[in-house]
Amino acid sequence: MPFDDLSEFLAAAEHAGELVRVRAEVDPVLEVGEITSRVCRQPGGGPAILFENVRGRSMPVVTNLLGGERRLSHALRCGSLAEVEARIEQLLRPELAEGWLGSLKLLPHLAQLTRLPPKTVKSGRSQQVVRMGRDIDLRELPFLQCFPKERAGSVTGGQLVSQHSETGERHVASCLLSVQGQDSLGIHWHSQDAAAAHFQGYRAERRQMPLAVVLGGDPALSFLASLPLPGQADAWLLAGFLREKNVELVKARTLELSVPACADVVLEGLVDTEAPFAPADTVALPSGFYSLPGDVPVLNVTAVTHRSNPVVPALVPGPPPTEQTWWDRVAERLLRPIVRLFVPEIVDLSRPAVGAGRNYLFVSIRKEYPQQARKVMNALWGLRGYATQKIVVVVDDDVDVRDEAAVWFHAGANVHPGRDVIFCEGPTHADDHAAPAAGVGHKMGLDATRKWPEEGHPRDWPDPLAMSRQMRELVDGRWREYGFGG
């Protein structure tokens, strides 16, 4: 069964020896961030950390909550990620997928097939305490400042809930917000985000835009909200399928939106679409750098609701490895069956940690015709979630894309720069400071596959050096006899 709330998950993590309780008083300004960054560098991602006594704050905060494959698998209630991937792949067999490619709304259909869409209930623990008006003070919440140039706390690890101004279609995604004042937040979304598109719809209608920020609850919901799902697919629909249990929702107190009944904290608010944007405070980004100057829309908080004993989760940004590194690694496993539906020749793909989830993508393919690597690159750049990938390296199917040294070895050996380097102009990641304009620039592909004569290679291609299986087995069996130990 899935976890009903965050406290249940924390109890399970502690029982498994994967939670450390910090009872000493800690400062939300820099100290929590530095502690977390050090723990994240431990082998396997380190334990989750529950800071029970955060100076000047009314609630505890948990960091590195899903900073490891084991806890992520546990959050998804599976023995292994391969088990979840297999469940998704089984539902994506061709006879089920037929006719859905054009709509790009695959996952909502899957959730309907399982009869586990979100359901509305009358009340939830997320509204045991309600604060409105002058009772709202975001500065009392344990939002962290993780690096010296940040001027205020940031809201990380939450779910941003928005809806289409005309259809009411819900969208749930992750988003970074910065505390602007007692009851206001700066929204650091990107122009490619669905919520930003919803904002334009409300602006055209000269209406205020309702938004909710959900923190805590079942940790699977926060993770699934971070996935770049196809089209307008609803993360809570996918959650119902993976959890094998409906996500229970309650109506927000001041908005025409629904939020998870199991959440620890919910921030409700409105964006004045006719108001000028506010200067954005400098914030630390998952890219490992600070944000650049700019203006952001402001969320005016109308209500803060929470459980009677809430815990606020936070993602601490920084150069990899971080908790986000594990989220990215698991996300590519869960999305692989969907990507294969559109690009079937893909064997495996991996975003190495050194690329901060956005700079490098390694792809192995079954090569069946000339220039197929280029076709794969362009297909991936046409998919949401990979459209802004900066550098794509394509290798043959016998190369393990999770072995970074092996990928770069074959790139160095198989790439002829004048022939095998491809440039593509288009959207880039909005946080890519190397792009000359925010969100616009160049991407690069490296065709590191073995070349065929039709691809402009007139010479024979050499066979790689490899020992025979028989000799490897013989040496394995005699290894101790040689005097090298076990």
- Condensed to tens digits (0 to 9), the pLDDT of residues 286-323 reads 999 999 999 999 999 999 999 999 999 999 999 999 99
Which pLDDT value is given to residue 91?
Answer: 65
Q: Which of 67-81, 370-384, 385-399, 433-447 has the lowest mean pLDDT?
A: 67-81
In terms of DSSP H, where are the helices of 270-403? 323-342, 372-381
Phi, psi of 113 (to 5 degrees): -60, -35
pLDDT at 246 over 70: yes
Q: Which of 64-73, 86-95, 341-350, 362-371 has the lowest mean pLDDT?
A: 86-95
Under CATH, what is the fold of the domain 343-455?
UbiD C-terminal domain-like (3.40.1670)
pLDDT at 78 over 90: no
Question: Is 88:82 a contact under the CB 8 Å cutoff?
Answer: no
Which pLDDT value is given to residue 111?
Answer: 43
Can you list the pairs that 189-197 forms with residues at least 24 positions away whose Cβ atoms lie under 8 Å? 189/160, 190/429, 190/430, 190/431, 190/439, 191/430, 191/439, 192/387, 192/388, 192/427, 192/430, 192/439, 194/162, 194/232, 195/160, 195/162, 195/171
Q: Does domain 82-309 have CATH number 2.40.30.40?
A: no
Within the chain, all domains assigned CATH 2.30.110.10 are found at 82-309
- Which is higher by pLDDT, 384 or 452? 452
Whole-number mean pLDDT of the chain? Answer: 92
Cα distance between residue 225 and residue 235, in whole Å: 5
Which pLDDT value is given to residue 222?
Answer: 95
% of the chain exceeding 90 in pLDDT: 83
Question: Is 284:154 a contact under the CB 8 Å cutoff?
Answer: yes
Which pLDDT value is given to residue 117?
Answer: 85
Which pLDDT value is given to residue 384?
Answer: 85
pLDDT at 110 over 70: no
Kindly report, residue by residue over 111-161, the tens digit of the pLDDT.
Answer: 445 567 899 999 999 999 999 999 999 999 999 999 999 999 999 999 999
Q: Which of 67-81, 273-287, 463-477 has the lowest mean pLDDT?
A: 67-81
Within the chain, all domains assigned CATH 3.40.1670.10 are found at 343-455
